[in-house]
């Protein structure tokens, strides 16, 4: 299957639905994805290629947190989408498409590591992108001074080190919330646990990070990032 496309994701016909009253309503992202999934289930391969184009970069960032080699990342991403394509007949839309795809990609990456007898990469080692890591200006005010830049770097390193040392369930929960930007409901779905458990894990992860960076910041007792 050729996944290299320049397909535009503007869906003028499928991204808009008409209510019984005749009013046009813009579809949510979940509805757009489900519409594409339904097209795939009817045999429309172009619809799946559109889903691939939409989520390839996001899945690549996810897989890169487990797999070291850039070439291996690409292989795992391709394998994840192939598995998703083969399993789409069973997708019923109970969860968001990306939540479903996330589980497939994580399981594929973990299976790859087991097969290759490798360990997951440390969070402090993988390349950061502007839009998929903690915004360091959360911790300190924006300043171009060398001192401020050094503090920013130290805080970023402390956050990544602490994240790497968290128990797996806490690390996954905080990554899904802060890096992937997923809702608590979607995280609960992805991790297969109650939403209360998700909130607890994220709170504990944030507390652990807060304790590590507190000495670097001029913050009062009880305040968290």
Token duo for residue 127: 């390349």
Q: What is the mean pLDDT of each run of 10 residues along the chain (225 residues)?
A: 42 50 70 91 90 91 84 89 91 88 90 68 43 40 59 76 85 84 86 89 86 67 47
Cβ pair 173, 82 in contact under 8 A: no
Strand, coil or helix: what is 135? coil
Q: How far is the first Cα of the chain from the last one, in angstroms, to the nearest whole number?
A: 45
Q: Bridge partners of 25?
A: 17
Cβ pair 93, 37 in contact under 8 A: yes
CB atoms within 10 A of CB 77: 26
| Distance between CA atoms of residues 208 and 216, nearest Å | 14
Q: At what angle do helices 97-116 and 45-63 cross, to 10 degrees?
A: 60
How much is the pLDDT for 100?
A: 92
How much is the pLDDT for 141?
A: 41
How much is the pLDDT for 161?
A: 82
Residue with tokens 């939403």: 195
The CA-atom distances, in angstroms, between 31 and each of 17, 22, 90, 108, 167 are 10, 18, 17, 26, 34
How much is the pLDDT for 26?
A: 75
CB atoms within 10 A of CB 179: 19
Token duo for residue 187: 């995280």
Instruction: Identify which of 44, 28, 46 has the alpha carbon closest to the alpha carbon of residue 93.
Output: 28
- In eight-state DSSP terms, residue 26 is E
DSSP letter string over 53-93?
HHHHHHHHHHHTTT---HHHHHHHHHHHHHHHHHHGGG--S
How much is the pLDDT for 85?
A: 92
The alpha-helical segments, DSSP class H, found in 94-167 are: 97-116, 146-165
Give the helix/strand (H/E) hosting 24: strand 24-26
Token duo for residue 129: 């992108």
| Distance between CA atoms of residues 162 and 93, nearest Å | 35
How much is the pLDDT for 21?
A: 54
Q: Which domains does the chain have, with CATH numbers?
A: 1-121 (1.10.1740.10), 128-225 (1.10.10.10)
Strand, coil or helix: what is 119? coil
How much is the pLDDT for 70?
A: 81
């Amino acid at each position: 299957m050729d996944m290299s496309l320049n397909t535009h994701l503007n869906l003028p016909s499928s991204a808009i639905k008409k209510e019984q009253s005749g009013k046009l309503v813009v579809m949510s992202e979940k509805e757009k994805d489900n519409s594409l999934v339904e097209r795939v289930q009817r045999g429309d391969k172009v619809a799946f290629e559109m889903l691939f184009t939409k989520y390839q970069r996001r899945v690549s960032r996810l897989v890169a947190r487990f797999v070291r080699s850039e070439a291996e990342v690409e292989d795992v991403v391709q394998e994840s989408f192939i598995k998703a394509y083969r399993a789409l007949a069973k997708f019923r839309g109970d969860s968001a498409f990306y939540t479903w795809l996330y589980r497939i990609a994580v399981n594929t990456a973990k299976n790859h590591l087991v097969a290759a007898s490798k360990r997951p990469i440390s969070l402090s080692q993988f390349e950061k992108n502007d839009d998929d890591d903690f915004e360091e200006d959360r911790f300190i005010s924006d300043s171009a001074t060398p001192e401020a830049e050094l503090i920013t770097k130290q805080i970023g390193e402390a956050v990544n080190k602490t994240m790497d040392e968290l128990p797996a369930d806490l690390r996954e929960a905080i990554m899904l919330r802060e890096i992937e930007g997923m809702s608590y409901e979607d995280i609960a779905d992805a991790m297969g646990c109650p939403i209360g458990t998700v909130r607890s894990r994220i709170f504990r992860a944030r507390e652990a990070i807060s304790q590590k960076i507190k000495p670097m910041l001029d913050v009062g007792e009880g305040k968290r990032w």
